[in-house]
């Protein structure tokens, strides 16, 4: 009986995320790795950007979502890689200073490529996405860039039958002799406009609708993936040469659930560390902090306090992201073109 109750908790967590949130994972630190949501970000920086993240959602609730990922992207194009107009010599310029945003020049036209591996487990169901991405960046004006990107790959849906126990002695037609391991094609696209002190992006994931069957022989209602639309924007507000405010917003449109949004506000101290807070509509409040340890490594952490009905059984959500800056020619400590 205890195992059945634990299973119900796991399935409940999965259903809540699918019905009340989205089929793809959500992230509190989306602005720390915008590449997760928009393939147009591929190659935006003048180095190879490697990030690894882990998110434990609604800790304390059995079967709650757990997400882990690895992403890597970098630029291609000699004029950008070897002579980017915004990559300063020496230790680089503080991208949060007033002088940096005033003197910003659009990057040289270049290409970007990337790869992402995202695993999301909710109860007995695991979803894994593997995608390759490509983007092209060009200057629209002397200080404004536009990037267009696309990513393609595969999506694997797995059902762990060993974690399922039913109370009825009769076989469940949904899972018996079913297809517990399914591979589906995956396609995403996006655009990203950015300057020295702001960005705007639009992207869509799961462009290809897919039917998801665990059993194809019974008269069970099918489930289907739906497109996820993301609208993002942010701005840098320098408070001097040492401190800057970084407000940003993420709007998620996923039919047929209601449109929702995230709002973040970070305060950055030069290019060394930052602190901030976030709000997710009808879901949570969050606290964030990050450190740029050197020109090679940075780390970000966030904690979400649940405000939805799950607050009675949830101890909150933890998320940590570690970034590695490879081939960092100009020894910058934090993103020059992103936030």
Distance, in Å, from the CA atom of 229 to the CA atom of 206, rounded to the nearest integer, reads: 9
Assess whether pLDDT exceeds 80 at residue 90.
no
Structure tokens belonging to residue 313: 């059984």
Give the CA distances from residue 76 to residues 43, 73, 105, 264, 283, in Å, rounded to whole numbers and listed in that order: 7, 10, 19, 31, 40
pLDDT at 165: 65
Ordered by start, the domain boundaries in the chain are 28-225+294-326
Q: Give the Cα separation of 152 and 134 in Å (integer).
A: 9
**Residue 174 has what pLDDT?**
57
CB 180, CB 212: distance < 8 Å: no
DSSP state at residue 85: T
In contact, 337 and 44? CB cutoff 8 Å: yes
Q: What is the pLDDT of residue 312?
A: 77
Average pLDDT, the chain: 83
Identify the residue whose tokens are 């780390």.
Answer: 299
Determine the average pLDDT of the residues in 72-88: 72
In tens, the pLDDT along 210-235 reads 876 666 555 554 577 889 999 999 99
SS3 15: helix
Show the beta-strand stretches assigned E in the chain.
48-56, 66-76, 110-122, 125-141, 144-159, 181-194, 198-205, 211-212, 223-224, 228-235, 237-238, 243-253, 260-269, 273-280, 284-292, 297-306, 317-326
Distance CA 185, CA 154 (A): 5
Which of 228, 226, 248, 252 is closest to 237 using CA atoms? 248
Asked whether residue 6 carries a pLDDT value surpassing 70, the answer given is: no
Question: Once rounded to an integer, what is the mean pLDDT over residues 280-308?
Answer: 93
pLDDT value of residue 85: 42
Top-confidence residue, 225 or 52: 52
Per-residue pLDDT band for 269 (boundaries 50, 70, 90) equals very high
CA distances from 40 to 33, 43, 108, 146 (A): 12, 8, 16, 9
- Pick the more confident residue, 3 or 157: 157
For the segment 47-69, the average pLDDT, to the nearest whole number, is: 92
Q: Could you give the residue ranges of the DSSP H alpha helices within the chain? A: 2-20, 78-83, 98-103
Q: How many CB atoms lie within 10 A of CB 140?
A: 11
């Amino acid at each position: 009986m205890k195992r059945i109750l634990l299973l119900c908790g796991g399935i409940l967590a999965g259903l809540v995320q699918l019905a009340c949130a989205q089929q793809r994972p959500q992230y509190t630190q989306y602005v720390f790795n915008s590449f997760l949501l928009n393939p147009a970000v591929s190659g935006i920086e003048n180095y190879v950007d490697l990030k690894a993240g882990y998110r434990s959602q609604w800790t304390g609730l059995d079967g709650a979502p757990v997400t882990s990922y690895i992403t890597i992207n970098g630029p291609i194009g000699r004029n950008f890689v070897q002579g980017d107009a915004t990559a300063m010599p020496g230790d680089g310029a503080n991208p949060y200073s007033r002088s940096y945003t005033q003197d910003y020049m659009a990057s040289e036209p270049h290409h970007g490529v990337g790869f992402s591996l995202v695993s999301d487990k909710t109860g007995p169901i695991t979803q894994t996405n593997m995608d390759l991405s490509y983007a092209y960046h060009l200057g629209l004006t002397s200080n404004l860039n536009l990037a267009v990107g696309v990513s393609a790959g595969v999506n694997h849906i797995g059902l762990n039958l060993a974690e399922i126990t039913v109370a009825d002695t009769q076989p469940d037609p949904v899972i018996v002799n079913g297809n517990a391991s399914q591979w589906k094609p995956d396609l995403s696209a996006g655009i990203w406009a950015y300057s020295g002190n702001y960005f705007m992006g639009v992207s869509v994931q799961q462009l290809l609708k897919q039917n998801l069957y665990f059993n194809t022989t019974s008269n069970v209602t099918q489930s289907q993936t739906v497109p996820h639309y993301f609208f993002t924007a942010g701005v840098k507000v320098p408070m001097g040469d040492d401190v800057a405010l970084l407000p940003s917003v993420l709007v998620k449109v996923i039919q047929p659930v209601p449109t929702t949004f995230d709002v973040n506000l970070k305060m950055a101290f030069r290019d060394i560390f930052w602190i901030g807070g976030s709000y997710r509509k009808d879901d949570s409040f969050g606290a964030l902090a990050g450190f740029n340890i050197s020109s090679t490594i940075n780390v970000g952490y966030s904690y979400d306090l649940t405000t939805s009905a799950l607050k009675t059984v949830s101890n909150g959500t933890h998320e940590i992201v570690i970034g590695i800056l490879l081939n960092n020619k100009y020894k910058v400590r934090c993103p020059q073109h992103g936030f």
